[in-house]
Structure 1
């Protein structure tokens, strides 16, 4: 009786997309390797005047005041590439990926796949205070989208492959496949279905398996802290609030700076060069604030820096990151946020009584990320994946949750969505099971409807059913065996009266009608009615006989929402009332 009911809506095409995801995972890993080597190459070229792919920190340069000019040159190149190449390379990647997913049918161009990693390599290599994750998310997404565009698939299916490429790229850079999958769930997919989740898992797992062949395996910042104790509970709460406040401050300052750039009487092409000047000045006074800064993160997590050095680094890194990103150049946000969060954690550790001092840079690093992204599970699992420190999981979960709660209470939008909102596009990030998915046509239809015989004349139908006492806008028309012929309304009736007033009603229907089955979900039927611009559909027993058994209208399809409204808005006291 209920064989048509399933937990999930899937078909065999899922196997095809999982196979494509495996390929996308491999290609995105290769793209991550290219991007990281591009950053290394340009870092050596700009700061050490060497043609080398060695991983070196910009802080070791001996350029003196000349270092101020390097980010300016990188920003100028980024502005020129954005104007004459593709303006889609501007920004830190994740908002651009979200916009492509929700508003551009997941279509990305080959230019983005080539120019984004190249420009990001130049910007970061010249001292830009960014990470590689934003560019690789955009580049991996472009790879997934381009591969998808070679097949005849829907926009929803193309979105899945775009996200698979984006998250596979993130996995390849950081070695955090589970966090990358969570990022897809919390930030990119806007749904939780097998058709989207499985390909993303396949792509991320593939990237994680391929990563050791091109990049270093294992956690990026391996460490181990002591098991948490009860006194850490209060510190986690306080750290979460501080991180949420820092995330809020950084987000608001970023868009104040962006507004300032927008007010300048200059074309946006020149803004990255101006931002680069701020970066160069800050980098002159605090060289370790330049570039990706993975070595700085490692030192902060290991508690190797003095508090005074951390404060200086925090201030300079925050200022140059805000001005660089606000200028519209190309770079990522995760690595700078990790530095800022870990720096805040070092300050927390200096005053936290009797706990493992190495724990708090990790916890605050993840909590700041949770507040900025609005993705607490991603941030907690990301911190775990970066370090492999399972003892820190509980503090990570609590602090990221508190930071997330703080930011959603005080901010309307996050860094990820504010830029899109400023373009007049609204994103609502909450989603749940649609009540229309859980209800079926049989639950809401009007059974045994009043139907008209196909042999009835138009004159008789007008006199009996479409006069002053008309009860329904539409009447189903059936043949002698009760099979549906079509739906009659006043427009069709007027047409028949004008052409053949004495003919039967069935004569006006030139093709078989659209129908619904009792086993179809309200959502599926509702989408079909919206696509065909229909207000109601006849419900038939089966597609073979098309025997009429009911009618379902748009208003009928809204009935499942009534229970949801009651659950959401009606407050009840069930005990002690």
Structure 2
């Protein structure tokens, strides 16, 4: 008896047989965008109603100790769900999607279509200091990926559907379709043609419409008021861009440092969750704006009412004068990364997208309010807070176009377009000098698993020596006689012979052309040994060498085949021809859209 899922597949399979590839991709982009958009709506609604339920009419959250308890409970619940329902791992963040694109043919596991919605909703709903955007990117990507798998799309089209799902998710979360498209292009797709824009745009628009129609205004994050850009503020925006670049570098390095501290608790998931939850709770006691995603705090900063943030903190005991408020906002910018990384590293599910915006708003407000208090300018703190969001988002995520258009769409207009572009570009240029990779991709790049816009480097990173080793070369013992060696030659189809000891170590190599003359002198068959004929190989390739190192050895040695060793042990040979063949295959595979 056919399952309901099978019944839903049949019409689309019938449709695919009766439409062109291009037509089917356009139809698919609508379906993927709709599904990813609905997933984003469900996630935002879950977080909203969990927090409403926990607040219990604001009676619970008004008690400070609940600010400690709820985040710890959320992290523990997330850890337990992941461990017992999803085998201990669900693959967090954009880096996981990029790894899947480069190493797993863009095939994300099916459970990621719902596991991230559930776990991130619990984490953020209970007050975890992380964003929902990374989980919805993974969810949308999984929806697109599994759609492509079910309808037998090739790698390029499947990757496009994956990116379309991510674009729809971002578009739905912020009601920002342009930002969704640009995010997919800047972060996920490393090679794209004009024809790929249409499915991305369709998916992003459909996703944005889902949230626009279904979600209430107080659930979506938007800013209704922006101040006009004044040309005399350009020098201050340049300085803000430099400051945002410096804070972005700090954000990236501090996040990785805190993450490393939790590595020692990797095997003890319960201890890690308890320690992380307790530390997060204490931070929230001092900085209540860290509770949840933090968008309410951003709205407060945009309105220039930062004193409201301090009044909710224990630090208000020391007073609420202007300088204390300013220092409090500066501390928010610097400590938020610690709270977010603790949330994620201790077992919660979330990302750095919303926290980057939080830090950006705090940085922009701090910078403009400081200059105003020093009588160095009369700057609009709300505008600088909004532009600061673009600066930090650009620096941390390495996505300047996404940052610019996201803030422009959130604010409902393009009056701040010039300062947004100026600050985002300045911040990105500075960060790129110190940190070539974004926070989400740095560790992935260090492992060589990251697709980049440099196609040659990308393919070389993907290629692994272990997949290219040729073992049909006939080994010969160094103690073998010339006669025995001639017998080996008679049964071999190659003209290169490794000289290998009984222990499996490589002593040298013999080229057929170097022994062609002596091999016909039968009187020397019992007198000459192989070790007298062998030569040292022009270069040695180790099993764990990167492909870039291997190609360098080929260039320097001029050889066509090089032996591969693991330590001292002989494994086989790698040849230029096999590398070039693999390169051509990967070049076709990693070209997303034609």
Pairwise TM-score range, normalised by the shorter structure? 0.5 to 0.7
Rounded Cα–Cα distance in structure 2 between residues aligned with 1:415 and 1:331: 14
Rounded Cα–Cα distance in structure 2 between residues aligned with 1:200 and 1:171: 11
Rounded Cα–Cα distance in structure 2 between residues aligned with 1:44 and 1:113: 25
The Cα shift of 1:213 comes to 1.5
Rounded Cα–Cα distance in structure 2 between residues aligned with 1:184 and 1:340: 23
Aligned to 1:430: 453
User: 1:37 and 2:45 equivalent?
Assistant: yes
CA contact (8 A) 1:345 1:362 kept: yes
The Cα shift of 1:264 comes to 3.3
Q: 1:368 to 1:175 in 2, by over 3 A?
A: same
Aligned to 2:137: 137
User: 1:259 and 2:267 equivalent?
Assistant: no
CA contact (8 A) 1:370 1:404 kept: yes
Q: Deviations over 1:175-198 (max 9, x none)?
A: 111011111111111112245322
Rounded Cα–Cα distance in structure 2 between residues aligned with 1:296 and 1:60: 19
Q: 1:316 to 1:272 in 2, by over 3 A?
A: same
Rounded Cα–Cα distance in structure 2 between residues aligned with 1:253 and 1:205: 36
CA contact (8 A) 2:171 2:177 kept: yes
CA contact (8 A) 1:189 1:196 kept: no
Rounded Cα–Cα distance in structure 1 between residues aligned with 2:180 and 2:98: 15
Q: 1:228 to 1:101 in 2, by over 3 A?
A: farther
Aligned to 2:167: 167
User: 1:412 and 2:436 equivalent?
Assistant: yes
User: 1:238 and 2:239 equivalent?
Assistant: yes
Question: Where in structure 1 are there 5+ consecutive unaligned residues?
Answer: 1-10, 51-55, 435-534, 536-553, 559-577
Pairing 1:182-261 to 2, within 5 Å after superposition: 182-216=182-216, 220-229=222-231, 231-261=232-262
The Cα shift of 1:267 comes to 2.8
Pairing 1:264-303 to 2, within 5 Å after superposition: 264=265, 266-268=267-269, 270-303=271-304
Q: 1:330 to 1:382 in 2, by over 3 A?
A: same
CA contact (8 A) 2:76 2:347 kept: no
Rounded Cα–Cα distance in structure 2 between residues aligned with 1:115 and 1:99: 18
Partner of 1:108: helix, strand, or coil? coil
Aligned to 1:13: 21
The Cα shift of 1:141 comes to 1.2
The Cα shift of 1:329 comes to 2.4
The Cα shift of 1:313 comes to 3.4
CA contact (8 A) 1:310 1:343 kept: yes
User: 1:22 and 2:13 equivalent?
Assistant: no
User: 1:346 and 2:365 equivalent?
Assistant: yes
The Cα shift of 1:270 comes to 4.5
The Cα shift of 1:171 comes to 0.6
The Cα shift of 1:371 comes to 0.2
The Cα shift of 1:97 comes to 1.6
TM-score, normalised relative to structure 1: 0.68
Q: Deviations over 1:523-548 (max 9, x none)?
A: xxxxxxxxxxxx9xxxxxxxxxxxxx
Aligned to 2:570: none
Aligned to 2:550: none
User: 1:336 and 2:351 equivalent?
Assistant: no
Q: Deviations over 1:483-524 (max 9, x none)?
A: xxxxxxxxxxxxxxxxxxxxxxxxxxxxxxxxxxxxxxxxxx
The Cα shift of 1:255 comes to 0.8
Partner of 2:366: helix, strand, or coil? helix
Q: Deviations over 1:289-308 (max 9, x none)?
A: 10012211111122221443
The Cα shift of 1:421 comes to 3.3
Rounded Cα–Cα distance in structure 2 between residues aligned with 1:205 and 1:349: 35
Q: Deviations over 1:341-374 (max 9, x none)?
A: 1011011111161333322111111100000011
User: 1:373 and 2:397 equivalent?
Assistant: yes
CA contact (8 A) 2:67 2:291 kept: no
Rounded Cα–Cα distance in structure 2 between residues aligned with 1:417 and 1:68: 31
Rounded Cα–Cα distance in structure 2 between residues aligned with 1:20 and 1:240: 40
Rounded Cα–Cα distance in structure 1 between residues aligned with 2:346 and 2:442: 15
Partner of 1:259: helix, strand, or coil? helix
322-331 vs 289-298, which moves further: 322-331
User: 1:385 and 2:409 equivalent?
Assistant: yes
Partner of 1:263: helix, strand, or coil? helix
Q: 1:154 to 1:38 in 2, by over 3 A?
A: same
The Cα shift of 1:409 comes to 0.2
CA contact (8 A) 2:255 2:338 kept: no
Q: 1:46 to 1:421 in 2, by over 3 A?
A: farther
Partner of 2:441: helix, strand, or coil? helix
Rounded Cα–Cα distance in structure 1 between residues aligned with 2:221 and 2:119: 27
Q: 1:197 to 1:80 in 2, by over 3 A?
A: same
CA contact (8 A) 1:89 1:330 kept: no
Rounded Cα–Cα distance in structure 2 between residues aligned with 1:346 and 1:30: 34
CA contact (8 A) 2:397 2:438 kept: yes
Q: 1:313 to 1:219 in 2, by over 3 A?
A: closer
CA contact (8 A) 1:88 1:112 kept: no
Rounded Cα–Cα distance in structure 2 between residues aligned with 1:376 and 1:236: 15
The Cα shift of 1:12 comes to 4.3
Question: Where in structure 2 are there 5+ consecutive unaligned residues?
Answer: 1-18, 308-324, 458-559, 561-578, 584-594
Aligned to 2:99: 99
Q: 1:115 to 1:298 in 2, by over 3 A?
A: same
Partner of 2:440: helix, strand, or coil? helix
Partner of 1:391: helix, strand, or coil? coil
